Structure 1
Amino acid sequence: RSSIKKDLYRRDFTINALAIRLNRTPGELLDFFGGRRDLKDKIVRVLHSLSFVEDPTRVFRAIRFEQRFGFQISKETQHFIQQAETMELFHRLSGTRLGNELIHILEEPEPAKGIQRLSQFKLLPFIHSKLHWKEPAPALFASGEKILAWNEVENAKPGTERWLLYALAWFESLGKTELVKTWKRLGFPQRTTATVGEFLQAQSTLIRTLNKKHLAPSEIYDLLTPWPKELLLFLMAKAQSKPTIHVAMERIRDYLTTFQHIAITITGHDLEDMGLPKGPAYRRVLDRIFKAKLDSLVVTQEDEYRLAKTFIQQETASGSHSKSPSVVRKGGWR
């Protein structure tokens, strides 16, 4: 049976190799490796010289803890990191393990500090040979931090994947093909990687269209609704440093704060009660009412019903409705 000392010896750092005794003398602090002293001195220190040989991902956790807590990696541990880099131990890591550590760093409150530290330790080539930490990425990270803070205030809904905005700001310089290839190797979520690839291809056209002088809210909605919130926040971060696309940023802001929260009250059941046969016409009618609501052409529930009657008459007159069943969302349409 392993002793508590042997168990703690397998931990990453001295500061998380502490334990509290629960038997015999409950409450006694077990500190075999100087973790309490390192906590007091704000030091991140590995327990032995082979720590990074055993698990190279510890380097990324050392950097993450150093930046999160405002600690300093000990000189001896820095030397071991340099040895690991010289020995190219990071090539032994699976892409998924490396990718997980990068996501953890990018989820930190100030991820730029962690990336800068990775760069100082010359670890970026192990991620991609052409990946650097230089402008415009640092400026985009700073803008992204402000945009994410704004988003937290404006949108109460949790669940924003902060890492995605920062990862795109960092990897964008590689270009679509290399970014997608690298993200696949790193084990980033497949659907996210595919969507980002499509986004990079559409980005220029999207910004140019959003920056047009005249654009109805329904048109803005159609342009932006296919893309995840994090990618739209990334565009807003980009626009902060480019006054020429400020209009695009304002329209994304309107979408995130207003348009995407608009809903209509009329439902498919209401359309059925009004005499519209079930079929694809349900979606067409509800979509047209929803877009009218976005464009402020209808305001009240009565307006929606009045417009629905007009659209139903048009559908009936054109004979374009189908007898096939259609699934319509209950409780309103968005």
Structure 2
Amino acid sequence: MMRLDALDSPERRAVDLIKEVAREKNLRPYLVGGPVRDLLLGRSVIDLDFTLEEGSSTLARSMAKRLNGRVRSYPQFLTYKVTAPELPEIDIASARSEKYRAPGALPTVSEGRLQDDLMRRDFSINAIALDVISDELHDPTNGKRDLESKNIRVLHDESFIDDPTRIYRAIRLATRLGFAIEPHTKELMERAISSGALRTVSKERLWRELFLAFEEESAPAVIEALDGTLEVLFGPRQIDRSRLERAQQIAKSDASLDREALFTSAILHGNASPVDLEGSGFSQRRARTLMQIANELGRYSDSLAEAETERQRFRLLKHASPELLGVLGPSEHVARFQEYRNFRLPLRGSDLEVPVGPHIAKALERTREAVFVGEIAPEEARAFAQRMAIKYLNREHVSG
């Protein structure tokens, strides 16, 4: 029997509250999918997904009220999301059946029974449900057996045709869990790829799956395994595992950096264009960042090596994104530039007694640089800044 008390504290408290509210309302919720799989494998459970044959709305709204939380409804998918402080997100859905109108299309969803809900899922190991009231396990596709044999197996032969994004998920799951893709499933997957099934899916959906791959602990291995599926997005590419490893190392070292831009630039190294990013949702700024890394890394590295002074290196690195600085570093030059960026002078524009204008900011920046590199002493900063401001002001008058 599966032990729900093996859950970590926040998840266990959420399940206990689900059970409490369900008993009060005479409802029967089932924990389904990934959480059950991970519990059976002894892995940490992050997501909490519940399915009910009846009363999903009642359970979701009662939970939100009990927790003083919020509930969001997604009627087209018959699902609800409950959020509350200090608890994980709780997904509550009506048991559903699905029909695919065409290959690669989103399914039409209708209410169904628990059996329908489990049989519509992607893989047998995700088609297991736990009755949280009775602790009874429902496993109509022998998913537990596949967990024991460490296999990823689809539930029917049209699975990858109906939803080709399952190809990405199969590879992601197999890599994360250290499982093999069962031989017949692998044959179906390869057949779907060679027949162009991935081209029936919008690029937006494919990008979402790729972004999920970037979040994996073993992201470089997942992306490398996805190599044959990425041509639909980027055309033929040579995936360099070492660049992917470097992207992950940088992303882990600083959570503020753009993980998606780092990994995408590693995939597109040497030849990135806006066309490659169609459907990604990257803003212009983020697209510039990743194309700068993909296309200009070599130029930056060469120019840094050729620069003879710190001023020359600083002027080059001023135009580098934080992500590019991460890829270029760690190095003495990048570390020195980071020190320079954090360096401040106790000097303001009003101290210069020069007419206001853009020349003031330029003079202050030039002075900050001069003090930092040792071109002038700190006590000379005000006089130096005045001279620079007048010099730049005169240039403005001449050009005007």
Q: TM-score, normalised by structure 1?
A: 0.70
Query: What are the residue-to-residue correspondences of 1:262-277 with 2, within 5 Å?
Result: 262-266=342-346, 270-272=348-350, 275-277=353-355
Q: Secondary structure at the match of 2:268?
A: helix
Task: Specify the code of the residue in structure 2 equivalent to 1:212.
Answer: E
Q: What is residue 176 of structure 2 aligned with on the other side? A: 68
2:340 counterpart (243, 248, 259): 259
Q: Residues 84-128 of structure 1: CA distance to partner in whole angstroms, max 9, x if unpaired?
A: 123321111112222222232234333332233234xx4343334
1:228 counterpart (321, 329, 340): 321
Q: Distance in 2 between matches of 1:224 and 1:314?
A: 22
Q: What is residue 206 of structure 1 aligned with on the other side? A: 300
Q: Is the 8 A contact 1:165 1:233 kept in 2?
A: no
The answer to whether the aligner puts 1:311 opposite 2:385 as a matched pair is yes
Q: What is residue 241 of structure 1 aligned with on the other side? A: none
% identity of equivalent residues: 26
Q: Is the 8 A contact 1:18 1:35 kept in 2?
A: yes
Q: Secondary structure at the match of 1:264?
A: coil
Q: Is the 8 A contact 1:220 1:251 kept in 2?
A: yes
Q: What is residue 155 of structure 2 aligned with on the other side? A: 47
1:38 counterpart (146, 151, 167): 146
Task: Specify the code of the residue in structure 1 equivalent to 2:344.
Answer: I
Change in CA separation of 1:219 and 1:295 when aligned onto 2, cut-off 3 Å: same
Query: What are the residue-to-residue correspondences of 1:4-153 with 2, within 5 Å?
Result: 4-22=114-132, 25-119=133-227, 122-133=228-239, 137-145=240-248, 147-148=249-250, 152=253
Q: Secondary structure at the match of 1:46?
A: coil
Q: Residues 24-79 of structure 1: CA distance to partner in whole angstroms, max 9, x if unpaired?
A: x3443333333333333332222322221221011101101111121222222212
Q: Secondary structure at the match of 1:127?
A: helix
Q: Distance in 2 between matches of 1:211 and 1:19?
A: 59
Change in CA separation of 1:51 and 1:318 when aligned onto 2, cut-off 3 Å: closer
Instruction: Name structure 2 gaps, 5 residues minimum.
Output: 1-110
Q: Which has the higher contact order (CA 8 A, sep 6+)?
A: 1
Q: Secondary structure at the match of 2:277?
A: helix
Q: What is residue 219 of structure 1 aligned with on the other side? A: 312
Q: Is the 8 A contact 2:363 2:388 kept in 1?
A: no
Instruction: Name structure 1 gaps, 5 residues minimum.
Output: 238-248, 323-334
Deviation, 1:210, is 0.4
Change in CA separation of 1:180 and 1:317 when aligned onto 2, cut-off 3 Å: closer
Change in CA separation of 1:126 and 1:318 when aligned onto 2, cut-off 3 Å: closer
Change in CA separation of 1:202 and 1:44 when aligned onto 2, cut-off 3 Å: closer
Deviation, 1:273, is 5.9
Structure whose residues are more often helix by fraction: 1
Q: What is residue 160 of structure 1 aligned with on the other side? A: 257
Q: Is the 8 A contact 2:265 2:291 kept in 1?
A: no
Q: Is the 8 A contact 1:124 1:132 kept in 2?
A: no
Task: Specify the code of the residue in structure 1 equivalent to 2:174.
Answer: E
Q: What is residue 372 of structure 2 aligned with on the other side? A: 294
Q: Secondary structure at the match of 1:63?
A: helix
Q: Distance in 1 between matches of 2:345 and 2:138?
A: 62
Q: Distance in 1 between matches of 2:274 and 2:327?
A: 17
Q: Is the 8 A contact 1:95 1:187 kept in 2?
A: no
Q: Residues 168-203 of structure 1: CA distance to partner in whole angstroms, max 9, x if unpaired?
A: 232225x34xx4322235554443333444555644
Change in CA separation of 1:118 and 1:316 when aligned onto 2, cut-off 3 Å: closer
Q: What is residue 29 of structure 2 aligned with on the other side? A: none
Q: Is the 8 A contact 1:12 1:51 kept in 2?
A: yes
Q: Is the 8 A contact 2:124 2:153 kept in 1?
A: yes
Q: Is the 8 A contact 1:52 1:58 kept in 2?
A: yes
Q: Distance in 1 between matches of 2:261 and 2:193?
A: 27
Change in CA separation of 1:294 and 1:317 when aligned onto 2, cut-off 3 Å: closer
Q: Distance in 2 between matches of 1:317 and 1:236?
A: 36
Q: TM-score, normalised by structure 2?
A: 0.60
For the aligned residue pairs, the C-alpha RMSD in angstroms reads: 3.4
